[in-house]
Structure formats: C-alpha cells, structure tokens
Amino acid sequence: MKKIQLSPVVKAVLLAFVPILFASVAGAVISIQSFEEPASIWVQAAAFAVSSGIGLLFVRKSRHNFSETGFKRPESGWLARLLYLLPLVVVEALPFATGFNGANDAARVVALLVFTCVVGFHEELYFRGLILRVLEKIGVKKAVVLSAALFGLGHAATALSGADPLYVVLQIAFAALFGVVAAETVFVTGSLIPVMVWHTAHDFIAFITIDGVEGLGLVLLAIQSVILLGYAIFLWRRLVGGLTARGK
C-alpha cells in the first residue's frame, strides 16, 4: 500500500489539534465533575503532561532528533542577539500594575507553578518544536508566520468565555504576536529553552495577577501587544538578515 504523503501545512494543523484536544478533554472533565481550584488546575496539568508525553514520542519518530528540535543549550551570544530580552521583561512586568489575584493562597500558587511549567513545556514542544520544524520545510519566514497563526487560533477559545469582544480580539492578537516572537527566538537561539522559560513566566504572572477585561486591563494588554509587535519586527529583521547572509 502506498504511503500517504501529507503536506507540511497539513501536518502542522494535525499536530496543533493534539494540544487543543487535550485542553478540551480537560475542560470537559472539569465541567462534568464540577471541579474548582486548585483541583481544576491539577486536572489541566495532568492532561497537558500526557499530551507532552505524546509530543515527545512524535519527536522520537520524526526525522529530527531532540537536539535538532530545540532541546539543547542556546547558541553562544544569544542574549546579545535578542537585545537582552529587555522588551519581554517590560511586557511581563506590566500585569503587576493591576494587582494580585485575591484567590491566591499557597495551594493555588503551588498548583499554578506546576501547571504553568507543564504548559510552557507542552505548548513550546508542539508549536515551536514539532510544528515549527515541520513548517521549516517550506521556508523559515513562512514557518514563523504559520506557526504563530496556529498558536493564535489555538487560543481563540477565549471567545467562548463571554468576555468583552475587544478583549478577545486583543488576546488572540497577543497570542499570535507571542507566537511570532517565540518562533523567531527559537531560530535566533537554536533552542526551545528560552521560550519555555518565558512562556512559563508569562502564564504564571497572568494567573497570579488580576486579569482585567476592561479599563486598565485592556490598556495594559494593548500596550503589551504593541511592545511585542515592535520586538517581533526587530527580531524579524535580524532573522531575515541572517538568512540573507547565509544565502537562504
């Protein structure tokens, strides 16, 4: 029987479906069992841990080994090439202006720390590891854009939460820009480690601070998006310049 050859884009979409599926299953279990925090957080962490295991199996079965997928130390001089990550520090500091979530207690914070570590590993494994490498076959620039688009669409479920439409649009835009910067960072550093750390820190800060859907919360989200856009353009120029220098 002739083996079916899927295009890189189709493979990427199928891979993106896996984390979305596990997130949906976790959400269904939480809803059916009426779990509340911190139990609901642990259920999600468990679901993403299982999904991560599947993703690691995909890496083993793929043409790329773990090192080629990004599980290695960043290339020397990576901090200088990323402008010392200063824009990202500003982006992650802004949410503290809204104050801390009143629901925070020791049990919730510990659960969130574990959960965000799992999510940071899980989503970067799929979107900037597996998916980015699959899409790289059609070009680095297309890989950055398409992987970010899939990441943004994967976060479109926010629209089902009944949140303010403007807030939903900004959240999706922020997720897409996050995806662009994360993908560019992987290509610049040659490693998934910096983006896994950033992703974990971003989610943890988002959960322990007040997630405002109006007023200051909207303003801060808009400012974060603008900063990420500027940083994405900066990294894009460095990435394209590097590709041109290598004749790609």
Distances (CA, A) of 215 to 61, 72, 89, 206: 48, 42, 22, 17
Is 11 within 8 Å of 134 (Cβ atoms)? yes
Residue 76: band (very low, low, confident or very high) from pLDDT cuts 50, 70, 90: confident
User: Within a domain: residue 3?
Assistant: no
Using the predicted structure, report yes or no on whether residue 243 has a pLDDT greater than 90.
Answer: no
Count of domains observed in the chain: 1
Using the predicted structure, report yes or no on whether residue 213 has a pLDDT greater than 80.
Answer: no
Using the predicted structure, report yes or no on whether residue 106 has a pLDDT greater than 90.
Answer: yes
Average pLDDT of span 37-58: 97
Q: Quick one: tokens of 151?
A: 């990441």
User: What whole-number distance in Å separates Cα of residue 69 and Cα of residue 55?
Assistant: 11
- Per the listing, tokens 């899939």 go with 150
Residue 57: band (very low, low, confident or very high) from pLDDT cuts 50, 70, 90: very high
pLDDT tens profile 163-197? 567 777 888 889 999 999 999 999 989 999 999 99
Using the predicted structure, report yes or no on whether residue 81 has a pLDDT greater than 90.
Answer: no
Picking from 98-112, 130-144, 166-180, 234-248, which range would have the lowest pLDDT averaged per residue? 234-248
Distances (CA, A) of 140 to 11, 125, 131: 16, 18, 12
Residue 236: band (very low, low, confident or very high) from pLDDT cuts 50, 70, 90: very high
The residue that leads in pLDDT, 248 or 127, is: 127
Average pLDDT of span 65-78: 90
Q: Quick one: tokens of 158?
A: 């926010």
User: Within a domain: residue 107?
Assistant: yes
Using the predicted structure, report yes or no on whether residue 22 has a pLDDT greater than 90.
Answer: yes
For the chain, where are the alpha helices, taking DSSP H only? Answer: 8-33, 39-61, 66-69, 78-81, 86-93, 106-123, 131-135, 140-154, 165-189, 193-208, 216-245
- What pLDDT score does 165 carry? 74
Using the predicted structure, report yes or no on whether residue 162 has a pLDDT greater than 70.
Answer: no
pLDDT tens profile 130-142? 999 999 999 999 9
Residue 16 lies in domain: 8-245
User: Within a domain: residue 1?
Assistant: no
DSSP 35-63: --TTHHHHHHHHHHHHHHHHHHHHHHHSS
Q: Quick one: tokens of 58?
A: 């995909």
User: Within a domain: residue 165?
Assistant: yes
User: Within a domain: residue 134?
Assistant: yes
User: Within a domain: residue 171?
Assistant: yes
| Residue 221: how many other CB atoms lie within 10 Å | 21
- What pLDDT score does 36 carry? 96
Residue-averaged pLDDT of the chain: 90
- What pLDDT score does 163 carry? 59
2: left (phi over 0), alpha (psi -120 to 50) or beta: beta
User: Within a domain: residue 127?
Assistant: yes
Residue 28: band (very low, low, confident or very high) from pLDDT cuts 50, 70, 90: very high
Average pLDDT of span 22-47: 96
User: Within a domain: residue 2?
Assistant: no
Average pLDDT of span 116-139: 97
The phi and psi torsions of 23 (rounded to 5 degrees) equal -65, -40
Picking from 16-20, 162-166, 195-199, which range would have the lowest pLDDT averaged per residue? 162-166
